[in-house]
Structure 1
Amino acid sequence: MEMCAAVYVLSTVTGYVLTSALLLKCPNLLHRRKREPFLSRHISHRGGAGENLENTMAAFKHAVDVGTDMLELDCHLTKDEQVVVSHDANLRRATGINAYISDMAYNELPPYFCKLDVTFQRECYCAGGDDKRIPLLQDIFDAFPDTPVNIDIKANNDLLIKKVSDLVIKYDRENLTVWGNASNQVVKKCYKENPRIPVLFSLPRVLQLLGLFYTGLLPFVPLKEQFLEIPMPSILTKMKDPSGLTRSQRFIIWLADTLLMRKALFNHLTARGIQVYIWVLNDEEDFQRAFDLGATGVMTDFPTRLRDFMDKNGISKPE
């Protein structure tokens, strides 16, 4: 009896493992591939914060002129309910004024500094030109009607989410927009407000995704998200002085990188019509690694640098 039970358990486990492995490589046997309204390989972070002042019209125009496939930007709501494009809720870092965007009317917002730090490039600053204005989201929609836009909803604000959705609908951009936030609560609100706009995986959902992947359950689970947007943890060793990292910090970075940067995971998601974007990469070594791992696209502060790399290595733009 015990022998029979052991054989049954073994055969069941073996069947599960084989089925999981098969569906990992061929997920369309179980899931219908998601429709991809657009494909993006070249994504400009904050419009290309290493080549122009972040989140300005000058940055976005330059990135589009370079040939970017997608503009990534951040949104907040002003006191007079205007959707503005800015990364920080507080204006101190970017303008020197210690005030929150939500407490000011749009026409009261100060201009950016002439020089801003590039967050994901060690000891790097970008000195901008004449354009230091914080733009409205509708300015980007007006100027670039055919360019996909990746919107980070920076505040858990129902009105902000509704206003962004209204603008997307007004400009007929539901098939040219992806939105979300690291917060699962914000992503749920976005999806509830307008399920026709594709959403990003939130941080809790990324962790859940990894859990499903490593337990072999991922091939059996439906996913509503259409975009996985994740960092490459190893870039942290380039952003800080390596000698300043403790042994435990280096181990954590290595472990996170090992768990997250998985070609099998990226290939599975891609086969299901889920695009994988890796951020924020600013040198050729990391560009190459991301594409070798099967990432759909790379997000960068240096759109010219990424374009030159793609041209040199024959990485085709999506049609």
Structure 2
Amino acid sequence: MKSCLFYSGILLLCLAVGLYVVCSLYLLRNPWILHKRKRLEFYCRHISHRGGSGEKIENTMEAFTHAVAVGTEMLEMDCHLTSDGYVVISHDNNLMRQTGYDKTVSSLRFQDLPLYEERLEVTFYVGHYSTGKDRKFVLLEDLFKKFPSMPMILEIKENNDLLIKKVSNLVKQYHRESFTVWASEESDIMAKCNEQNPSMPYMFTMKRGILLLLLFYTGLLPFVPLGESLLLFYLPSIINRTYIPEEAILKKRFVVYLLQKLTMRKSLFEHLIKRGLQVQLFVCNEESDMEAAFAVGATGVMSDYPTLLTNYIKKHPPPPPPSITQPR
């Protein structure tokens, strides 16, 4: 009797697991059954990293203007706050790498910010440098005025309530809530961003990205709602080739190989895209990397070389974007 109950229990467990697996796989391919598709007002395949820092000095007005002129569909940048309260575009808070001065953006008035170096190494393309006529730092507000309808990704680098509030106020002032993206790797910063302006789309943080992978591999992802609109992630094959990371763990070949296998999953990207999210892989500075990113299912590629990316897309046009307005 006991053995009969035991085997019956095993059979029921197997049936339950089998049913769960079937349901999970079905909903992974058909997520609209449980989730309403997100309707973003932008669909960007061409994203310029720091305004295209391989062709002009990063984050200058010349760089952003050049990227838009050659056909970029989205600008990516980082925000900091000066001591006199201006939101300035700069990747680093400490200005040593960019200007040669060991000062921070937050310790200087906007008018006292030094010029960029005349020749600046491209972070994600080691050994390559950019130059340009424009070496001045840019205000976020001036970018909003110059490119009123251009989608932008704004990464908040510091856990600074005033910075977040000022960025939010500028986005509202220039009516950009629907096509300006909150970005941060830190979950506590992102929580403050969403609280300050919940109308803006936002990306996965590092913790949320890890959770996304756990949900995907356990089969739970199709059952879980997602607030994010963008997944931004490294194309792992660039690590230790065009990009040399500071983290010691990422210098190990096995770790990078494992990262590639775990994250570059076409079925995961397809599921997110069917739910209305966009998947952008960075920073692709060679045609082979652009090809690899689109091949694995990315909706967009971020590059330091907007002209190269434009030419690649012209030669290898990706499928047309899904309709944003078409009802499901």
The reply to whether TM is greater than 0.5 is: yes
Match of 1:208 in 2: 211
- Superposed, 1:227-306 pairs within 5 Å as 227-239=230-242, 249-306=252-309
| AA at the equivalent of 2:259 | A
* 1:127 Cα offset (Å): 1.5
Say which SS state the counterpart of residue 239 (structure 1) adopts: coil
Structure 2 runs not aligned, ≥5 long: 324-328
Structure 1 CA distance for aligned equivalents of residues 225 and 270 of structure 2: 16
Determine if the alignment matches structure 1 residue 27 to structure 2 residue 31.
yes
Contact 1:154–1:181 (CA under 8 A) maintained in structure 2: yes
* 1:155 Cα offset (Å): 0.7
Q: Tell me the TM-score normalized by structure 1.
A: 0.96
| AA at the equivalent of 2:194 | Y
* Cα-to-partner distance string for 1:158-177 (whole Å, 9 max, x where unaligned): 11000000000000000120
| AA at the equivalent of 1:236 | I
| AA at the equivalent of 1:253 | V
Say which SS state the counterpart of residue 237 (structure 1) adopts: coil
Match of 1:177 in 2: 180
* Cα-to-partner distance string for 1:205-262 (whole Å, 9 max, x where unaligned): 1011001111111111111111100001110131268xxx999811111000111111
Within the candidate set 159, 162, 165, 1:159 is matched to 162
Within the candidate set 296, 305, 308, 2:311 is matched to 308
Contact 2:240–2:251 (CA under 8 A) maintained in structure 1: no
- Superposed, 1:77-92 pairs within 5 Å as 77-92=81-96
| AA at the equivalent of 1:51 | E
CA shift in 2, pair 1:310/1:72, >3 Å:
same
* Cα-to-partner distance string for 1:67-89 (whole Å, 9 max, x where unaligned): 10000001000001100000000
* Cα-to-partner distance string for 1:54-102 (whole Å, 9 max, x where unaligned): 0000000000001100000010000011000000000111111111111
Structure 1 CA distance for aligned equivalents of residues 154 and 302 of structure 2: 13
| AA at the equivalent of 1:265 | L
Match of 1:111 in 2: 115
- Superposed, 1:87-106 pairs within 5 Å as 87-106=91-110
CA shift in 2, pair 1:2/1:269, >3 Å:
same
Structure 1 CA distance for aligned equivalents of residues 280 and 251 of structure 2: 28
Say which SS state the counterpart of residue 225 (structure 2) adopts: coil
* 1:18 Cα offset (Å): 0.3
| AA at the equivalent of 1:215 | T
Contact 2:99–2:115 (CA under 8 A) maintained in structure 1: yes
Aligned length: 315
Structure 2 CA distance for aligned equivalents of residues 79 and 230 of structure 1: 32
Contact 1:41–1:317 (CA under 8 A) maintained in structure 2: no
* Cα-to-partner distance string for 1:17-58 (whole Å, 9 max, x where unaligned): 000000111111111111111100000000000000000000
Match of 2:70 in 1: 66
Structure 2 CA distance for aligned equivalents of residues 246 and 22 of structure 1: 36
| AA at the equivalent of 2:89 | V
Q: Tell me the TM-score normalized by structure 2.
A: 0.93
Match of 1:3 in 2: 7
Within the candidate set 218, 243, 249, 2:221 is matched to 218
Contact 2:293–2:301 (CA under 8 A) maintained in structure 1: yes
**Structure 1 residue ranges, 4+ long, deviating more than 2 angstroms after superposition:** 245-248, 314-319
Contact 2:249–2:255 (CA under 8 A) maintained in structure 1: no
Say which SS state the counterpart of residue 273 (structure 2) adopts: helix
Structure 2 CA distance for aligned equivalents of residues 215 and 292 of structure 1: 25
Say which SS state the counterpart of residue 299 (structure 1) adopts: strand
Structure 2 CA distance for aligned equivalents of residues 248 and 236 of structure 1: 8
Match of 2:326 in 1: none
Contact 2:125–2:243 (CA under 8 A) maintained in structure 1: no
Determine if the alignment matches structure 1 residue 125 to structure 2 residue 126.
no
Contact 1:84–1:136 (CA under 8 A) maintained in structure 2: yes
Structure 1 CA distance for aligned equivalents of residues 221 and 64 of structure 2: 37
Contact 1:78–1:101 (CA under 8 A) maintained in structure 2: yes
Structure 1 runs not aligned, ≥5 long: none
Within the candidate set 187, 198, 202, 1:199 is matched to 202
Match of 2:19 in 1: 15
Match of 1:190 in 2: 193
| AA at the equivalent of 2:64 | F
Match of 2:43 in 1: 39
* 1:111 Cα offset (Å): 0.9
